[in-house]
Amino acid sequence: MSFLSESVAVITGAGSGMGRCLAQQLAAMGASLALSDVNEKGLAETVALLGGARGKVTQRRVDVGDAASVKAFAEEVEAQHGRASVVFNNAGVALLGNFEELSLEDFRWLMDVNFWGVIHGVHFFLPLLKKEKRAHIVNTSSLLGFVGAIGQSAYCASKFAVRGFTESLQHELAGTNICVTTVHPGFVRTSIANQARLGQNAGEGLRQQSLNRFHRITRTSPEVAAAKILRAVEQRRPRVLIGPDAYFVEILQRLRPTGYWPILARQFEDPSAKKN
């Protein structure tokens, strides 16, 4: 039996994308699942897709940006499952617009989900994880946790913050029963771009440009991403890069720590925008 097959896995953002695929692959292994998402419809669809899962499956609507919501989730997991052995802080959102096009409310909304959601997940589940013989925390950053990008100031801030927090946590928990992994996905075919919020002062045309770019450069499926994450957990790896774009960006940042953007800008350009 593997660690994951015997685990009680907590997944935020389980209503779609990588979170859904993590749930499906863990269910196939025999793990018990505590699933959450702010989107109740998507969450129910994920649960329905699990079919005759061998392990126990529970679901709860959770706003990860709200501390009370995550606290109640952790209490329910303890009551329903009796334990938690691996926590995937996977929930995330996107926000479109340059810094001057974003309101403070826009910025706070994204940070509440992408950064505070991770903090809440670790804070409220850590007591359960500490009771396990072996436990694991998986926090999702991004390739934009390595580099800054025009039009992504809020998203980059959140993902840099997740990376820094998680790496500090790794050092603090070294030698304990809890392993910690940072996940840096490249562009993965999920619904995050379609569901991205437009900055309060951003033009509506930015949404289509962003979608064009996302679909043009995205290569990795959420199924492949989930499989790589689970393999990294079994191997107790501290960092996992997902997709060739993530590897490219991480290497480029190391080689050109202050001069990477001209190269990346060419990769991110939307050719159709030049014609307008």
pLDDT mean over 207-224: 82
Task: Write down the pLDDT at residue 275.
Answer: 43
Q: Convert the pLDDT of each residue in 106-149 to its tens digit.
A: 999 999 999 999 999 999 999 999 999 999 999 999 999 999 99
Residue 220 has pLDDT above 80, yes or no: yes
CA distance 154 to 96: 9
Question: Three-state DSSP class for 138?
Answer: strand
Domain residue extents for the chain = 4-271
Phi/psi at 65 (5° precision): -75, -10
The pair phi, psi for residue 183, each rounded to 5°, is -105, 130
The mean per-residue pLDDT over the stretch 24-42 comes to 97
Both tokens assigned to 116: 């505070």
The tally of CA atoms less than 13 A away on the side-chain side of residue 176 is: 17
Length of the chain: 276
Q: What mean pLDDT value characterizes the chain?
A: 93
- What whole-number percentage of the chain has pLDDT above 70? 97
For the ranges 9-13, 66-70, 152-156, 265-269, the lowest mean pLDDT is seen at: 265-269
- Please determine, for residue 269, whether its predicted confidence score (pLDDT) is greater than 70: no
Q: Rounded CA gap, 155 and 98, in Å? A: 11
Contact (CB, 8 A) for 86 and 183? no
Assess contact for 135 and 174: CB atoms under 8 A: no
Fold that domain 4-271 belongs to in CATH: Rossmann fold (3.40.50)
Query: Which residues are annotated as catalytic?
Result: 155
Q: What is the pLDDT of residues 43-65, one digit of tens each?
A: 999 999 998 788 999 999 999 99
E strand or H helix that includes residue 214? helix 205-217
273 pLDDT higher than 60: no
> What burial letters (b/e) apply to 24-62, b meaning 16+ CB within 10 Å?
bbbbebebbbbbbbbbeebbeebbeebeebebebbbbeb
